[in-house]
Structure 1
Amino acid sequence: MTMVKSSNLGYPRIGENREWKKTLEQFWTGKLEKETFLQQMEEIRLSSLQKQKEQGIDFIPVGDFSLYDHVLDTAIMFGLVPKRFEYTGGKVSLETYFDIARGTKGAVASEMTKWFNTNYHYIVPELDEAVPTLVENRPLQFYKEAKQKLDILGKPVILGPITFVKLSKGYKDNDLKTVVDQFVPLYATILSELQTEGVEWVQIDEPILATTISEEEISIFQDVYKQLNEAVPHINVILQTYFESIDHYEEVTSLPVQGIGLDFVHDNNQNLSALKKFGFPQDKVLAAGIIDGRNIWRANLEDKISLLSEIVDVVTKERLILQPSSSLLHVPVTVKSEETLEEVLKEALSFADEKLQEIVLLTKGLQGGKETIQKEISASKKAIQALNHSASRNNTQVQEDIQNLRTFRAERETTSEVRLQIQDETFQLPLLPTTTIGSFPQTQEVRKQRLKWRKGELTDADYQEYIKAEMKKWIDIQEELGLDVFVHGEFERTDMVEYFGEKLAGFQFTKFGWVQSYGSRCVKPPLIYGDVSFQEPMTVKETVYAQSLTTKPVKGMLTGPITILNWSFVRDDISRYEVANQIALALRKEVEVLEENGIRMIQVDEPAIREGLPLKQEKKESYLDAAVYAFKLATTSVQNETQIHTHMCYSDFKNIIDAITALDADVISIETSRSHGELIHAFEEHTYDKGIGLGVYDIHSPRVPKLEELTRNIDRALQVLNPKLFWINPDCGLKTRGMDETIASLKVMVEAAKQTRERLLVIKGS
């Protein structure tokens, strides 16, 4: 390197118009032949690389593209296929790849969980007794493709061996080094083949370094990267970290690699402080993450130039690479398509393409001086100031309420034990009551009618009648199935966060602002750009109508404040906790209106409470305290007879069990099926004295579960949970499932509950 360079860590896979998602789903449904599918995916991949080339990025990542998930890609590169998929060795087929992710009629899909503290989900590798073998060099393939077809000398991206193993399951923690050592020769082979091909720089992602790790783990890093450097000494490796600061700064920057990637956005100035205090090795390049890779706000270029001036006091420009703080996988593709947004908001936005433009601008500014980009600096400052001074960010009533939070009760009137007795008398539910999480299948016809309504091709009255008909149909189906507690099905909702954001002040929605959540599932996070406030009832009409159709209780369905926060792009001019409390106060009013209209079961879902957990151990308690407070602020103004439910998704619940208890929800349901009941262990060590449902079957797979599977799952849970407190439910909402498989699965679930209930009553009677 002779001068500061620009780089990217990863680019969104989905395409500007979600071409990736559509191609995947057409292949899965048999509408695309395999060769056509692969060709279309190649076109999407090459188009993304070409865009980065045209932007002027010096180091373009290759190998970050995936057909499903980059962690799964790493696993199959090493032939790590669970035995139940009957893999016989060699390169893993495309069919097996998708079977691992989605499951088959005879084999349960691999577990899925959150990628660090993001809303992206990865497929958890299963190591068990499998011996890793390099069955294909994926980074090499992608490098060759970019070189041959686009004349791009890319920067191969590889998930590092220690992070990969730490994110896997099937080994004991004290065996970490032994397991990692199995992968070191394979990584050496990958690097050696890349070196032979002429690759100059390789990005090895080790984001696990941004978590709280031990001295023993640091010694494993030292050993592993020493081995790799000795085995392949003539290739440049950037050890890339992101999402947080690194604790072991001196040890990490001393590792035998040629570059270190640090996050200077989400580090709370810790990386910067360490850089100033300890300096930086003279023989290494610093890859500085200075543009936020996880949020969508335009950077204040003046502030970034100021930050860079502090960095170049320590690291010379010749040894500096400018890049986003993380992969741009977590943000939409481009702002240019958002033609309907108000100008004051649009001007303050920056998606993936715009972030790369900011990187290139800052690189130019650092090379030629601040004055070379003065026009752009002024424009960024003006856009940010205009949004900050807008009426949307200056709601006097909201700001007064936040200043006077102590005037809002944040505790229920009585203890959970007293409430349980009152609610048992109120609802008269059987032992092991059955219910669902909230949504029912959103068929193509439902989406078609909603689109017609949004386009004005269907009147409000006609659309409401259609939604009512869908609700009645599914109330009738729930009656026929014999469920004990009903839901209205959420047919009027596109997304559990978007729906509420559209009805609350302070939110805005994009038209094309999609990001990948898991597999082909893409979400369009709302933008929380202003002060959040309640405007009018949001769920009462549909819930009250559904309740009028049955004598069984129908749950009101809301999305909780922390989930709305974590699944949105959040304004960055005030603290996230303040935004959470604004949302909580708005939801509190909706809860109260539901109760006033006779809805006595209200579910306030918090599936994302775990994913917002800080990566540093010392920061987790304050986050959980804030999350619990926001939830209680939203839910505790109801009467004792009103039963508050909540739902949570994939989580390591052992680490947050105290916070779950502190939520003081009357009933909680937890998504556990893909972990095959492992999360039940949390309740062997911690007594839980409130209602609880551990999802008994996986809704992310199209397979209909067998009766013996569900009975086994229920029996396992009842070994550690009180039958009087246990609920039977699927592990998540059923929105993405087909109608026939949903009915068939629920029929099996109700039968499993019935048989277990009868068996328990016989035992009790004897």
Structure 2
Amino acid sequence: MSTNENKDQFRPENHEHDHFLLTTVVGSYPKPKWLNRAKELYEDPDHDFDADDWREAKDDAARLITQEHERAGLDAVVDGEMRRNEMVEFFAHRIEGYEFNGPVKVWGHNYFDKPSVVDEVEYDENWLVDEYEFTASATDRPVKVPITGPYTLASWSFNEAYEDDEELAYDLADLVNEEIEKLVDAGARYIQIDEPALATTPDDHAIVGEALEHIVADIPDDVRIGLHVCYGDYSRIYPEILEFPVDEFDLELANGDYEQLDVFKDPEFEKDLALGVCDVHVAEVESVEQIEENIEKGLEVVPPEQLVVSPDCGVKLLPRDVAYGKMENMVQAARNVEAKLDEGTIDVDRGTAAPADD
């Protein structure tokens, strides 16, 4: 399947424009306040809020946020990671070979329950299949499944069992591959590998590339594989990342006011670009017009058929109304840019307004 066909499988029926800019989110979304309260009740031995109650609460939250993504108009939705606590911890609890010894201070007053790898890692139970199947049953739109990548799972853990993190990352990549195979069997067609650690140690891009080769082994061509990378100096990993076996790169660029956009212009960006067009670090909703301008910056790098529209990163730290407002305006901006492309009022070679006819 070609890259364009891979993307167009997510095009809604009766899409109003000839052009199609796939709109989606990176993954996380603010949890309803009552879900946090439900967790407190479940963890309190003095309350009779049991496992069934806690499961029902998570189901309700996942259904609610999936529908919120639908209401915002997103083409590919996520449940907002309502069942996940943290991007490494969630998976480490489900992988044999990891153990937890208490929280570690990471910055300021923030703590991270950093796990240790104490034995050879093994696949023990499904990680996300139940989550995917529930979300897919709650919507008629395509569901994207974010998975923390093996390099980040290795780098953000204490390695007490392997000779080095590279060896650990490859073993973890085989487990990610096993999980994706199960997700594909369940119907998933859009998988996003999250590797934020790559930006902090960009010299290891070759390790990430090899890990991705493990991940995509025997995965059908009609399954869209994306890689999310945020922060850091992209010039240290580009153009090497073009060799990665993925369909789409999801990149944080709005927060840096697109100062690194030129990095991706030479050599030519051959993959799909999921362009961050909303700054998740700013608790204000960008206007539709501002987001349109941001989207059009992406057309300086890739043609419309290779452009995907997304926020910079997960939006879980924003107020929920702000997160929703960003998504809603982002979708409207994408539809507006599609209309301009149909009309020929955007010069796709430069991402700027085309000159008016004389």
TM over 0.5: yes
Aligned pair 1:496/2:90, yes or no? Answer: no
CA distance in structure 2 between the partners assigned to 1:764 and 1:715 by the alignment: 12
Aligned to 1:238: none
SS of 2:213 mapped into structure 1: helix
Is the CA contact 1:515–1:524 (under 8 Å) kept in the aligned structure 2? Answer: no
CA distance in structure 2 between the partners assigned to 1:447 and 1:632 by the alignment: 38
Aligned pair 1:669/2:250, yes or no? Answer: yes
Q: 1:717 aligns with which of 286, 289, 298?
A: 298
Aligned to 1:436: 25
Question: Could you say which structure has the larger radius of gyration?
Answer: 1
Aligned to 1:420: 3
SS of 1:734 mapped into structure 2: coil
SS of 1:427 mapped into structure 2: coil
Q: Give the aligned length.
A: 339
Aligned to 1:737: 318
Aligned to 2:50: 459
* AA aligned opposite 2:262: H
Structure 1 625/688 Cα, relative in aligned 2: closer, same or farther at 3 Å?
Answer: same
Is the deviation greater in 437-446 or in 481-490?
Answer: 437-446
Aligned to 2:175: 586
CA distance in structure 2 between the partners assigned to 1:503 and 1:559 by the alignment: 13
Aligned to 2:330: 749
Q: 2:104 aligns with which of 496, 513, 526?
A: 513
| Structure 1 segments unaligned to the other structure (5+ residues) | 1-417, 614-619
Aligned pair 1:552/2:133, yes or no? Answer: no
* AA aligned opposite 1:568: S
Aligned to 2:228: 647
SS of 2:188 mapped into structure 1: coil
CA distance in structure 2 between the partners assigned to 1:593 and 1:726 by the alignment: 28
CA distance in structure 1 between the partners assigned to 2:238 and 2:56 by the alignment: 43
CA distance in structure 1 between the partners assigned to 2:322 and 2:287 by the alignment: 12
SS of 1:752 mapped into structure 2: helix
Q: 1:540 aligns with which of 114, 126, 129?
A: 129
Cα offset for 1:421?
4.4
Aligned pair 1:468/2:59, yes or no? Answer: yes
| Structure 2 segments unaligned to the other structure (5+ residues) | 13-18, 347-356
Deviations 1:377-406 (A, max 9, x none): xxxxxxxxxxxxxxxxxxxxxxxxxxxxxx
Is the CA contact 1:670–1:695 (under 8 Å) kept in the aligned structure 2? Answer: yes
Deviations 1:151-180 (A, max 9, x none): xxxxxxxxxxxxxxxxxxxxxxxxxxxxxx
CA RMSD of aligned residues (A): 2.1
Aligned to 2:269: 688
Q: 1:598 aligns with which of 179, 187, 190?
A: 187
Q: 1:635 aligns with which of 216, 220, 238?
A: 216
Aligned pair 1:576/2:165, yes or no? Answer: yes
CA distance in structure 2 between the partners assigned to 1:514 and 1:491 by the alignment: 24
SS of 2:317 mapped into structure 1: coil
SS of 1:735 mapped into structure 2: coil
Equivalence map 1:201-212=2 (5 Å): none
Q: 1:564 aligns with which of 153, 156, 159?
A: 153
Structure 1 425/676 Cα, relative in aligned 2: closer, same or farther at 3 Å?
Answer: closer
SS of 1:557 mapped into structure 2: strand
Deviations 1:118-167 (A, max 9, x none): xxxxxxxxxxxxxxxxxxxxxxxxxxxxxxxxxxxxxxxxxxxxxxxxxx
Equivalence map 1:613-628=2 (5 Å): 613=202, 620=203, 623-628=204-209
Q: TM-score, normalised by structure 2?
A: 0.89
Aligned pair 1:445/2:26, yes or no? Answer: no
* AA aligned opposite 2:92: G
* AA aligned opposite 1:427: F
Aligned to 2:16: none
CA distance in structure 2 between the partners assigned to 1:699 and 1:564 by the alignment: 23
Deviations 1:287-321 (A, max 9, x none): xxxxxxxxxxxxxxxxxxxxxxxxxxxxxxxxxxx
SS of 1:604 mapped into structure 2: strand
Cα offset for 1:572?
6.6
Is the CA contact 2:103–2:112 (under 8 Å) kept in the aligned structure 1? Answer: no
CA distance in structure 2 between the partners assigned to 1:626 and 1:538 by the alignment: 23
Cα offset for 1:513?
2.5
Cα offset for 1:764?
7.8
Cα offset for 1:465?
1.2
Cα offset for 1:583?
0.9
Q: TM-score, normalised by structure 1?
A: 0.43
Deviations 1:211-247 (A, max 9, x none): xxxxxxxxxxxxxxxxxxxxxxxxxxxxxxxxxxxxx
Deviations 1:16-62 (A, max 9, x none): xxxxxxxxxxxxxxxxxxxxxxxxxxxxxxxxxxxxxxxxxxxxxxx
Is the CA contact 1:533–1:585 (under 8 Å) kept in the aligned structure 2? Answer: no
Aligned to 1:255: none
CA distance in structure 1 between the partners assigned to 2:139 and 2:32 by the alignment: 23
* AA aligned opposite 2:10: F
CA distance in structure 1 between the partners assigned to 2:162 and 2:124 by the alignment: 23
Q: Structure with the greater relative contact order (CA < 8 A, sep ≥ 6): 1 or 2?
A: 2
CA distance in structure 1 between the partners assigned to 2:58 and 2:85 by the alignment: 13
Is the CA contact 1:442–1:736 (under 8 Å) kept in the aligned structure 2? Answer: no
* AA aligned opposite 1:545: F
Structure 1 595/693 Cα, relative in aligned 2: closer, same or farther at 3 Å?
Answer: same
Cα offset for 1:635?
2.6
Equivalence map 1:356-435=2 (5 Å): 418-424=1-7, 426-428=9-11, 431-435=20-24
CA distance in structure 2 between the partners assigned to 1:663 and 1:452 by the alignment: 44
Cα offset for 1:442?
2.4
Deviations 1:630-669 (A, max 9, x none): 1221233211111111211112112211332122211121
Is the CA contact 1:562–1:631 (under 8 Å) kept in the aligned structure 2? Answer: no
- Percent sequence identity is 27
Cα offset for 1:424?
4.2
CA distance in structure 2 between the partners assigned to 1:710 and 1:521 by the alignment: 32
Equivalence map 1:307-346=2 (5 Å): none
SS of 2:176 mapped into structure 1: helix
* AA aligned opposite 2:337: T
CA distance in structure 1 between the partners assigned to 2:162 and 2:66 by the alignment: 45
SS of 2:310 mapped into structure 1: coil
* AA aligned opposite 1:736: L
Is the CA contact 1:514–1:525 (under 8 Å) kept in the aligned structure 2? Answer: no
SS of 2:336 mapped into structure 1: helix
